[in-house]
A and B are shown apart, each in its own frame.
Chain A
Amino acid sequence: MRYAYYPGCSAESTARDMHQSTLAVARALGIDLVEPKGWTCCGATAGHQTDRLLAVSLPAANLTKVQDMKLDMLVNCAACYSRMKVANHEITSHSSIRQGVREALDRDYDGSVKVRHLLEVLLEDVGLPAITKAVKRSLNGLKVACYYGCLLVRPPKILKFDDPENPTSLDRLVTAMGGTSLEWPCKVECCGGGLSLSRTDVVVELTGSIIDMAASVGADCIAVSCPMCQVNLDLRQQDINKQTGKNYQIPIVYITQLLGLSLGISSGELGFNQLMVPASSVLEKIHERA
Protein backbone atom coordinates (compact mmCIF):
# COMPACT_ATOMS: atom_id res chain seq x y z
CA MET A 1 0.00 0.00 0.00
CA ARG A 2 1.64 3.15 -1.26
CA TYR A 3 0.14 6.64 -1.48
CA ALA A 4 1.16 10.22 -2.20
CA TYR A 5 0.49 11.81 1.19
CA TYR A 6 -0.57 15.47 1.13
CA PRO A 7 -0.06 16.78 4.67
CA GLY A 8 -1.58 20.28 4.25
CA CYS A 9 -0.07 23.42 5.75
CA SER A 10 -1.50 22.84 9.20
CA ALA A 11 0.72 19.74 9.45
CA GLU A 12 3.57 22.20 10.06
CA SER A 13 1.82 24.22 12.76
CA THR A 14 -1.57 23.70 14.42
CA ALA A 15 -1.83 20.05 13.48
CA ARG A 16 1.70 18.69 13.88
CA ASP A 17 0.10 16.14 16.19
CA MET A 18 -2.21 14.93 13.43
CA HIS A 19 0.72 14.72 11.04
CA GLN A 20 2.94 12.85 13.50
CA SER A 21 0.23 10.40 14.50
CA THR A 22 -0.67 9.78 10.85
CA LEU A 23 2.93 8.90 10.03
CA ALA A 24 3.27 6.68 13.11
CA VAL A 25 0.05 4.79 12.43
CA ALA A 26 0.88 4.34 8.75
CA ARG A 27 4.26 2.89 9.67
CA ALA A 28 2.68 0.47 12.14
CA LEU A 29 0.10 -0.72 9.60
CA GLY A 30 2.51 -1.05 6.69
CA ILE A 31 1.11 1.90 4.71
CA ASP A 32 3.81 3.58 2.66
CA LEU A 33 3.42 7.40 2.50
CA VAL A 34 5.42 9.58 0.09
CA GLU A 35 5.11 13.37 0.25
CA PRO A 36 4.80 15.11 -3.11
CA LYS A 37 7.81 17.38 -3.48
CA GLY A 38 7.01 21.08 -3.25
CA TRP A 39 3.35 20.65 -2.21
CA THR A 40 1.53 23.90 -1.58
CA CYS A 41 -1.58 25.20 0.20
CA CYS A 42 -5.02 24.18 -1.07
CA GLY A 43 -6.43 27.66 -0.43
CA ALA A 44 -9.00 26.43 2.09
CA THR A 45 -12.15 28.44 2.70
CA ALA A 46 -10.40 31.72 1.91
CA GLY A 47 -9.64 30.60 -1.63
CA HIS A 48 -13.14 29.24 -2.05
CA GLN A 49 -14.71 32.51 -0.92
CA THR A 50 -12.48 34.66 -3.08
CA ASP A 51 -12.33 33.37 -6.63
CA ARG A 52 -13.42 30.23 -8.43
CA LEU A 53 -10.30 29.85 -10.59
CA LEU A 54 -8.06 30.38 -7.56
CA ALA A 55 -10.10 27.87 -5.55
CA VAL A 56 -9.55 25.21 -8.24
CA SER A 57 -5.99 26.03 -9.30
CA LEU A 58 -4.42 25.89 -5.83
CA PRO A 59 -5.50 22.27 -5.25
CA ALA A 60 -4.75 21.43 -8.90
CA ALA A 61 -1.12 22.48 -8.43
CA ASN A 62 -0.83 19.61 -5.94
CA LEU A 63 -2.91 17.14 -7.90
CA THR A 64 -0.58 17.48 -10.91
CA LYS A 65 2.40 16.76 -8.68
CA VAL A 66 0.69 13.59 -7.52
CA GLN A 67 -0.24 12.65 -11.07
CA ASP A 68 3.46 12.64 -11.91
CA MET A 69 4.04 10.20 -9.07
CA LYS A 70 1.45 7.77 -10.51
CA LEU A 71 -0.12 7.22 -7.09
CA ASP A 72 -3.44 7.98 -5.40
CA MET A 73 -3.45 11.07 -3.21
CA LEU A 74 -4.01 10.40 0.48
CA VAL A 75 -5.31 13.26 2.63
CA ASN A 76 -6.08 13.37 6.32
CA CYS A 77 -7.27 16.98 6.72
CA ALA A 78 -11.01 17.08 5.91
CA ALA A 79 -10.68 20.60 4.55
CA CYS A 80 -7.94 19.67 2.09
CA TYR A 81 -9.86 16.52 1.13
CA SER A 82 -12.91 18.56 0.24
CA ARG A 83 -10.97 21.19 -1.74
CA MET A 84 -9.08 18.53 -3.73
CA LYS A 85 -12.20 16.60 -4.64
CA VAL A 86 -14.20 19.68 -5.52
CA ALA A 87 -11.32 20.87 -7.73
CA ASN A 88 -11.28 17.54 -9.60
CA HIS A 89 -15.03 17.79 -10.05
CA GLU A 90 -14.89 21.37 -11.35
CA ILE A 91 -12.15 20.49 -13.83
CA THR A 92 -13.88 17.40 -15.20
CA SER A 93 -17.30 19.06 -15.49
CA HIS A 94 -16.41 22.49 -16.92
CA SER A 95 -14.08 22.82 -19.88
CA SER A 96 -13.75 26.58 -19.27
CA ILE A 97 -12.37 25.90 -15.78
CA ARG A 98 -9.98 23.28 -17.11
CA GLN A 99 -8.80 25.86 -19.63
CA GLY A 100 -8.35 28.47 -16.87
CA VAL A 101 -6.36 26.01 -14.78
CA ARG A 102 -4.18 25.22 -17.79
CA GLU A 103 -3.25 28.90 -18.04
CA ALA A 104 -2.69 29.25 -14.32
CA LEU A 105 -0.48 26.16 -14.03
CA ASP A 106 1.06 26.29 -17.47
CA ARG A 107 0.09 22.66 -17.97
CA ASP A 108 -3.06 20.70 -18.61
CA TYR A 109 -4.70 18.67 -15.88
CA ASP A 110 -7.65 16.36 -16.54
CA GLY A 111 -8.95 16.01 -12.98
CA SER A 112 -8.30 12.29 -12.81
CA VAL A 113 -6.06 11.86 -9.76
CA LYS A 114 -7.87 9.75 -7.19
CA VAL A 115 -8.19 11.50 -3.84
CA ARG A 116 -8.65 9.29 -0.80
CA HIS A 117 -9.22 10.22 2.78
CA LEU A 118 -7.14 8.33 5.33
CA LEU A 119 -10.36 6.96 6.82
CA GLU A 120 -11.29 5.44 3.45
CA VAL A 121 -7.87 3.83 3.17
CA LEU A 122 -8.10 2.45 6.71
CA LEU A 123 -11.58 1.02 6.17
CA GLU A 124 -11.31 -0.13 2.55
CA ASP A 125 -7.64 -0.95 1.90
CA VAL A 126 -6.40 -2.00 5.34
CA GLY A 127 -9.77 -3.24 6.60
CA LEU A 128 -11.28 -3.45 10.07
CA PRO A 129 -10.34 -7.12 10.70
CA ALA A 130 -6.66 -6.31 10.10
CA ILE A 131 -6.91 -3.31 12.41
CA THR A 132 -8.57 -5.31 15.18
CA LYS A 133 -5.86 -7.92 14.79
CA ALA A 134 -3.15 -5.27 15.14
CA VAL A 135 -4.62 -3.80 18.35
CA LYS A 136 -2.23 -4.19 21.27
CA ARG A 137 -4.09 -2.03 23.80
CA SER A 138 -7.87 -2.15 23.69
CA LEU A 139 -9.87 1.06 24.08
CA ASN A 140 -12.24 -0.97 26.25
CA GLY A 141 -14.28 1.35 28.48
CA LEU A 142 -13.50 4.52 26.54
CA LYS A 143 -16.61 6.42 25.44
CA VAL A 144 -15.94 8.34 22.25
CA ALA A 145 -18.17 10.88 20.49
CA CYS A 146 -17.13 10.79 16.83
CA TYR A 147 -17.26 14.15 15.09
CA TYR A 148 -17.12 14.42 11.30
CA GLY A 149 -17.88 18.11 10.87
CA CYS A 150 -18.90 19.42 7.45
CA LEU A 151 -16.07 19.10 5.01
CA LEU A 152 -15.77 15.32 5.14
CA VAL A 153 -19.36 14.77 4.09
CA ARG A 154 -20.46 17.87 2.17
CA PRO A 155 -21.12 18.39 -0.71
CA PRO A 156 -22.24 14.72 -0.70
CA LYS A 157 -22.69 14.48 -4.47
CA ILE A 158 -19.04 15.27 -5.06
CA LEU A 159 -17.36 13.78 -2.00
CA LYS A 160 -19.39 10.56 -1.79
CA PHE A 161 -17.89 9.90 1.62
CA ASP A 162 -19.93 7.57 3.82
CA ASP A 163 -23.56 8.50 4.70
CA PRO A 164 -23.68 12.32 4.71
CA GLU A 165 -26.28 12.59 7.50
CA ASN A 166 -25.14 9.70 9.68
CA PRO A 167 -21.57 8.70 8.82
CA THR A 168 -20.04 5.78 10.71
CA SER A 169 -16.41 5.51 9.50
CA LEU A 170 -14.92 6.91 12.69
CA ASP A 171 -17.39 4.98 14.83
CA ARG A 172 -16.52 1.68 13.16
CA LEU A 173 -12.84 2.34 13.77
CA VAL A 174 -13.44 3.11 17.45
CA THR A 175 -15.42 -0.11 17.80
CA ALA A 176 -12.70 -2.09 16.02
CA MET A 177 -10.24 -0.79 18.64
CA GLY A 178 -12.50 -2.06 21.44
CA GLY A 179 -13.89 1.37 22.40
CA THR A 180 -17.51 2.51 22.67
CA SER A 181 -18.75 4.94 20.06
CA LEU A 182 -21.63 7.06 21.31
CA GLU A 183 -24.86 7.91 19.52
CA TRP A 184 -25.18 11.67 19.44
CA PRO A 185 -26.81 14.23 17.15
CA CYS A 186 -23.83 16.48 16.35
CA LYS A 187 -21.76 14.22 14.08
CA VAL A 188 -22.11 16.46 11.02
CA GLU A 189 -22.97 19.78 12.69
CA CYS A 190 -20.77 22.66 11.57
CA CYS A 191 -18.46 24.12 14.23
CA GLY A 192 -17.90 27.37 12.34
CA GLY A 193 -14.20 26.71 11.82
CA GLY A 194 -13.92 28.96 8.79
CA LEU A 195 -15.02 31.93 10.86
CA SER A 196 -12.59 31.15 13.66
CA LEU A 197 -10.65 34.41 13.64
CA SER A 198 -13.10 36.72 11.94
CA ARG A 199 -16.28 35.95 13.88
CA THR A 200 -15.24 34.51 17.22
CA ASP A 201 -18.70 35.22 18.66
CA VAL A 202 -20.40 32.91 16.15
CA VAL A 203 -17.79 30.21 16.66
CA VAL A 204 -18.15 30.18 20.45
CA GLU A 205 -21.88 29.73 20.02
CA LEU A 206 -21.55 26.84 17.54
CA THR A 207 -18.75 24.99 19.31
CA GLY A 208 -20.58 25.56 22.60
CA SER A 209 -23.60 23.56 21.57
CA ILE A 210 -21.44 20.72 20.22
CA ILE A 211 -19.35 20.46 23.41
CA ASP A 212 -22.54 20.71 25.46
CA MET A 213 -24.04 17.76 23.66
CA ALA A 214 -20.87 15.65 23.94
CA ALA A 215 -20.81 16.30 27.68
CA SER A 216 -24.46 15.38 28.09
CA VAL A 217 -24.01 11.99 26.40
CA GLY A 218 -21.08 11.28 28.71
CA ALA A 219 -18.20 11.41 26.20
CA ASP A 220 -14.68 10.81 27.55
CA CYS A 221 -13.37 12.52 24.43
CA ILE A 222 -14.37 13.67 20.95
CA ALA A 223 -12.58 12.02 18.02
CA VAL A 224 -12.00 14.14 14.92
CA SER A 225 -10.24 13.90 11.58
CA CYS A 226 -9.81 17.55 10.63
CA PRO A 227 -7.27 19.99 12.07
CA MET A 228 -9.70 22.88 11.87
CA CYS A 229 -12.36 21.02 13.83
CA GLN A 230 -9.71 19.92 16.33
CA VAL A 231 -8.30 23.38 16.97
CA ASN A 232 -11.70 24.96 17.04
CA LEU A 233 -13.29 22.57 19.53
CA ASP A 234 -10.11 22.33 21.63
CA LEU A 235 -9.24 26.01 21.84
CA ARG A 236 -12.75 27.36 22.25
CA GLN A 237 -13.56 25.43 25.44
CA GLN A 238 -11.79 28.19 27.40
CA ASP A 239 -14.10 30.80 25.88
CA ILE A 240 -17.19 28.67 26.30
CA ASN A 241 -16.36 28.13 29.95
CA LYS A 242 -15.71 31.83 30.48
CA GLN A 243 -18.99 32.83 28.87
CA THR A 244 -21.24 30.19 30.39
CA GLY A 245 -19.61 29.53 33.76
CA LYS A 246 -19.31 25.85 32.89
CA ASN A 247 -16.12 23.87 33.21
CA TYR A 248 -15.79 21.70 30.14
CA GLN A 249 -12.55 19.78 29.79
CA ILE A 250 -13.30 17.35 26.98
CA PRO A 251 -10.16 16.23 25.13
CA ILE A 252 -10.45 16.61 21.35
CA VAL A 253 -8.26 13.87 19.88
CA TYR A 254 -7.43 12.85 16.37
CA ILE A 255 -8.62 9.41 15.37
CA THR A 256 -5.02 8.67 14.38
CA GLN A 257 -3.97 9.41 17.96
CA LEU A 258 -6.49 6.91 19.34
CA LEU A 259 -5.52 4.38 16.71
CA GLY A 260 -1.84 4.89 17.53
CA LEU A 261 -2.47 4.27 21.22
CA SER A 262 -4.37 1.09 20.46
CA LEU A 263 -1.51 -0.07 18.23
CA GLY A 264 0.81 0.33 21.19
CA ILE A 265 2.56 3.54 20.11
CA SER A 266 3.55 5.92 22.92
CA SER A 267 1.49 9.06 23.55
CA GLY A 268 4.63 11.17 23.11
CA GLU A 269 5.18 9.89 19.60
CA LEU A 270 1.54 10.61 18.80
CA GLY A 271 1.74 14.27 19.84
CA PHE A 272 -0.64 14.05 22.78
CA ASN A 273 1.27 16.81 24.56
CA GLN A 274 0.15 19.28 21.89
CA LEU A 275 -3.52 19.17 22.84
CA MET A 276 -4.80 22.24 24.68
CA VAL A 277 -7.31 20.35 26.82
CA PRO A 278 -5.06 17.61 28.21
CA ALA A 279 -6.00 14.04 27.39
CA SER A 280 -4.61 12.50 30.57
CA SER A 281 -7.99 11.04 31.46
CA VAL A 282 -8.05 9.22 28.11
CA LEU A 283 -4.51 7.93 28.56
CA GLU A 284 -5.31 6.67 32.05
CA LYS A 285 -8.35 4.81 30.80
CA ILE A 286 -6.33 2.90 28.28
CA HIS A 287 -3.59 2.28 30.82
CA GLU A 288 -0.83 4.04 29.11
CA ARG A 289 1.98 4.60 31.53
CA ALA A 290 3.16 8.04 30.46
Chain B
Amino acid sequence: MITIKNKKNGQGLKRAVEELSGVDISVCFQCKKCSSGCPVARLTRSRPSEIMRQLHLGAGNELLESDLVWMCASCETCSARCPMGIDVAAVIDALRKLALARGASKQKGNVPLFNRAFLKTVETFGRSYEIGMIAAYKLGTGKLMNDTEKFPAMLKKGKIALLPPRGGDRKTVRRIFKTVKQNKEAKA
Protein backbone atom coordinates (compact mmCIF):
# COMPACT_ATOMS: atom_id res chain seq x y z
CA MET B 1 0.00 0.00 0.00
CA ILE B 2 1.18 3.51 -0.72
CA THR B 3 0.85 6.07 2.03
CA ILE B 4 2.14 9.60 1.80
CA LYS B 5 3.32 11.64 4.75
CA ASN B 6 4.94 15.02 4.74
CA LYS B 7 3.44 16.33 1.54
CA LYS B 8 5.01 19.70 1.99
CA ASN B 9 8.68 18.87 2.03
CA GLY B 10 7.80 16.18 -0.50
CA GLN B 11 7.71 18.56 -3.42
CA GLY B 12 11.27 19.40 -2.51
CA LEU B 13 12.28 15.74 -2.82
CA LYS B 14 10.64 15.35 -6.23
CA ARG B 15 12.33 18.47 -7.53
CA ALA B 16 15.71 17.43 -6.11
CA VAL B 17 15.39 13.97 -7.70
CA GLU B 18 14.41 15.47 -11.05
CA GLU B 19 17.33 17.83 -10.93
CA LEU B 20 19.87 15.14 -10.05
CA SER B 21 18.54 12.53 -12.48
CA GLY B 22 17.27 14.64 -15.36
CA VAL B 23 14.06 12.57 -15.26
CA ASP B 24 10.55 14.02 -15.59
CA ILE B 25 8.74 12.00 -12.91
CA SER B 26 5.27 12.89 -14.19
CA VAL B 27 5.55 10.99 -17.50
CA CYS B 28 5.43 7.63 -15.70
CA PHE B 29 2.08 5.99 -16.39
CA GLN B 30 2.51 3.14 -13.90
CA CYS B 31 2.79 0.25 -16.35
CA LYS B 32 5.10 -1.44 -13.79
CA LYS B 33 7.43 -2.89 -16.42
CA CYS B 34 10.37 -1.57 -14.39
CA SER B 35 9.30 -3.54 -11.34
CA SER B 36 8.65 -6.76 -13.21
CA GLY B 37 12.19 -6.72 -14.62
CA CYS B 38 13.90 -5.63 -11.41
CA PRO B 39 15.99 -8.50 -10.04
CA VAL B 40 15.79 -7.36 -6.42
CA ALA B 41 12.08 -6.38 -6.37
CA ARG B 42 11.15 -9.80 -5.09
CA LEU B 43 13.32 -9.13 -2.01
CA THR B 44 12.50 -5.50 -1.29
CA ARG B 45 9.51 -3.92 0.37
CA SER B 46 9.39 -1.08 -2.17
CA ARG B 47 9.54 -1.61 -5.92
CA PRO B 48 10.80 0.86 -8.55
CA SER B 49 7.33 1.67 -9.95
CA GLU B 50 6.11 2.39 -6.41
CA ILE B 51 8.99 4.78 -5.84
CA MET B 52 8.01 6.58 -9.06
CA ARG B 53 4.39 6.78 -7.90
CA GLN B 54 5.31 8.02 -4.44
CA LEU B 55 7.57 10.72 -5.86
CA HIS B 56 4.77 11.80 -8.15
CA LEU B 57 2.34 11.99 -5.24
CA GLY B 58 4.75 14.22 -3.37
CA ALA B 59 6.48 11.89 -0.93
CA GLY B 60 9.05 13.46 1.38
CA ASN B 61 12.27 12.41 3.02
CA GLU B 62 10.69 9.20 4.36
CA LEU B 63 11.14 7.82 0.85
CA LEU B 64 14.89 7.94 1.45
CA GLU B 65 14.44 5.13 3.97
CA SER B 66 13.12 2.73 1.30
CA ASP B 67 15.10 -0.48 1.24
CA LEU B 68 15.34 -0.40 -2.57
CA VAL B 69 17.62 2.64 -2.33
CA TRP B 70 20.45 0.49 -1.02
CA MET B 71 19.47 -2.90 -2.40
CA CYS B 72 19.31 -1.68 -5.98
CA ALA B 73 22.11 -3.41 -7.90
CA SER B 74 22.37 -0.63 -10.52
CA CYS B 75 21.71 -3.19 -13.24
CA GLU B 76 19.65 -0.68 -15.27
CA THR B 77 17.09 -3.25 -16.39
CA CYS B 78 14.31 -0.88 -15.31
CA SER B 79 15.67 1.97 -17.46
CA ALA B 80 16.26 -0.29 -20.46
CA ARG B 81 12.67 -1.60 -20.40
CA CYS B 82 10.66 1.51 -19.54
CA PRO B 83 8.35 2.25 -22.49
CA MET B 84 8.50 5.96 -21.67
CA GLY B 85 12.29 5.98 -21.80
CA ILE B 86 12.50 7.00 -18.14
CA ASP B 87 15.91 6.41 -16.60
CA VAL B 88 14.49 4.77 -13.47
CA ALA B 89 17.94 3.66 -12.30
CA ALA B 90 19.02 7.31 -12.34
CA VAL B 91 16.07 8.10 -10.06
CA ILE B 92 17.29 5.46 -7.59
CA ASP B 93 20.84 6.84 -7.93
CA ALA B 94 19.50 10.28 -7.08
CA LEU B 95 17.67 8.95 -4.01
CA ARG B 96 20.88 7.28 -2.89
CA LYS B 97 22.79 10.52 -3.13
CA LEU B 98 20.00 12.41 -1.34
CA ALA B 99 19.83 9.76 1.38
CA LEU B 100 23.52 10.36 2.03
CA ALA B 101 23.26 14.13 1.86
CA ARG B 102 20.17 14.34 4.07
CA GLY B 103 21.39 11.83 6.62
CA ALA B 104 18.79 9.10 6.19
CA SER B 105 19.27 6.21 8.57
CA LYS B 106 21.92 3.62 7.81
CA GLN B 107 20.75 0.49 6.09
CA LYS B 108 21.90 -3.06 6.47
CA GLY B 109 25.11 -3.80 4.65
CA ASN B 110 26.26 -0.22 4.56
CA VAL B 111 26.88 0.32 0.86
CA PRO B 112 28.18 3.91 1.37
CA LEU B 113 30.90 2.67 3.67
CA PHE B 114 31.84 0.01 1.15
CA ASN B 115 31.97 2.57 -1.66
CA ARG B 116 34.12 4.89 0.44
CA ALA B 117 36.51 2.09 1.30
CA PHE B 118 36.81 1.12 -2.36
CA LEU B 119 37.36 4.68 -3.57
CA LYS B 120 39.86 5.37 -0.79
CA THR B 121 42.15 2.68 -2.18
CA VAL B 122 41.73 4.13 -5.66
CA GLU B 123 42.58 7.60 -4.38
CA THR B 124 45.67 6.25 -2.63
CA PHE B 125 47.00 3.77 -5.18
CA GLY B 126 45.40 4.85 -8.44
CA ARG B 127 43.93 1.38 -8.74
CA SER B 128 41.58 -0.53 -6.47
CA TYR B 129 43.17 -2.80 -3.87
CA GLU B 130 41.01 -5.46 -2.28
CA ILE B 131 42.93 -6.04 0.92
CA GLY B 132 43.06 -2.35 1.75
CA MET B 133 39.42 -1.96 0.91
CA ILE B 134 38.27 -4.96 2.89
CA ALA B 135 40.29 -3.84 5.91
CA ALA B 136 38.74 -0.37 5.82
CA TYR B 137 35.27 -1.77 5.33
CA LYS B 138 35.65 -4.24 8.17
CA LEU B 139 36.99 -1.62 10.55
CA GLY B 140 34.02 0.55 9.65
CA THR B 141 31.34 -2.05 10.19
CA GLY B 142 33.05 -3.34 13.31
CA LYS B 143 32.36 -6.95 12.46
CA LEU B 144 34.10 -9.68 10.62
CA MET B 145 32.58 -10.26 7.26
CA ASN B 146 31.19 -13.70 6.73
CA ASP B 147 33.33 -13.94 3.63
CA THR B 148 36.65 -14.09 5.45
CA GLU B 149 36.49 -17.90 5.35
CA LYS B 150 37.01 -17.65 1.59
CA PHE B 151 40.24 -15.66 1.82
CA PRO B 152 42.73 -18.51 2.21
CA ALA B 153 41.41 -20.25 -0.91
CA MET B 154 41.31 -17.02 -2.86
CA LEU B 155 44.83 -16.12 -1.81
CA LYS B 156 46.05 -19.53 -2.85
CA LYS B 157 44.48 -19.12 -6.27
CA GLY B 158 46.10 -15.72 -6.63
CA LYS B 159 42.70 -14.03 -6.69
CA ILE B 160 43.72 -11.53 -4.04
CA ALA B 161 46.87 -9.51 -4.60
CA LEU B 162 48.96 -9.20 -1.46
CA LEU B 163 50.83 -6.08 -2.47
CA PRO B 164 49.18 -2.80 -3.34
CA PRO B 165 48.94 -2.08 -7.07
CA ARG B 166 51.80 -0.16 -8.69
CA GLY B 167 52.27 1.63 -11.96
CA GLY B 168 49.06 3.66 -11.98
CA ASP B 169 49.19 7.39 -12.64
CA ARG B 170 48.45 8.37 -9.03
CA LYS B 171 49.02 12.05 -9.64
CA THR B 172 46.10 12.44 -12.03
CA VAL B 173 43.81 10.35 -9.85
CA ARG B 174 44.57 12.46 -6.78
CA ARG B 175 43.88 15.58 -8.78
CA ILE B 176 40.49 14.16 -9.78
CA PHE B 177 39.55 13.41 -6.18
CA LYS B 178 40.70 16.84 -5.07
CA THR B 179 38.69 18.63 -7.76
CA VAL B 180 35.56 16.61 -6.98
CA LYS B 181 35.89 17.47 -3.29
CA GLN B 182 36.38 21.16 -4.01
CA ASN B 183 33.34 21.19 -6.30
CA LYS B 184 31.22 19.63 -3.59
CA GLU B 185 32.40 22.14 -1.00
CA ALA B 186 31.72 25.00 -3.39
CA LYS B 187 28.16 23.76 -3.87
CA ALA B 188 27.51 23.17 -0.17
Residue-wise, chain A 188-205 has the 8 Å CB interface mask toward B (1 for contact) of 111011110111101001
Residue-wise, chain B 163-174 has the 8 Å CB interface mask toward A (1 for contact) of 001011110110
Q: Is the CB of B114 within 8 A of A61?
A: no
Residue-wise, chain B 112-125 has the 8 Å CB interface mask toward A (1 for contact) of 01111011001000
Q: Determine which of A13, A40, A164, A193 lies in contact with B130 in the assembled complex, contact meaning CB atoms within 8 Å.
A: A13
Residue-wise, chain A 90-129 has the 8 Å CB interface mask toward B (1 for contact) of 0000000000100111100000000000000000000000
Query: Residue A247 at the B interface, CB < 8 A?
Result: no
Query: Residue A233 at the B interface, CB < 8 A?
Result: no
Q: Is the CB of A12 within 8 A of B127?
A: yes
Query: Residue A54 at the B interface, CB < 8 A?
Result: yes
A33 contacts across to B, CB distance below 8 A = none
For residues 130 through 189 of chain A, which have their beta carbon under 8 Å from a beta carbon of chain B? Answer: 150, 153-156, 164, 188-189
A65–B147 CA distance with the chains assembled, in angstroms? 36
Q: Is the CB of A13 within 8 A of B161?
A: yes
A-B CB contacts (within 8 Å), total count: 167
B115 contacts across to A, CB distance below 8 A = 45-46, 49-50
Query: Residue B12 at the A interface, CB < 8 A?
Result: no
Given contacts A16-B158, A273-B157, contact A57 B145 (CB under 8 A): no
A53–B109 CA distance with the chains assembled, in angstroms? 25
Residue-wise, chain A 1-44 has the 8 Å CB interface mask toward B (1 for contact) of 00000000110111010000000000000000000011111011
Instruction: Say how far B164's CB is from chain A's closest CB, in angstroms.
Output: 10
For residues 138 through 161 of chain B, which have their beta carbon under 8 Å from a beta carbon of chain A? Answer: 145-147, 150, 153-154, 157-161
**Which A residues fall within an 8 A CB radius of B?**
9-10, 12-14, 16, 37-41, 43-51, 53-54, 57-58, 61, 65, 100, 103-106, 150, 153-156, 164, 188-190, 192-195, 197-200, 202, 205-206, 231, 235, 238, 273-276
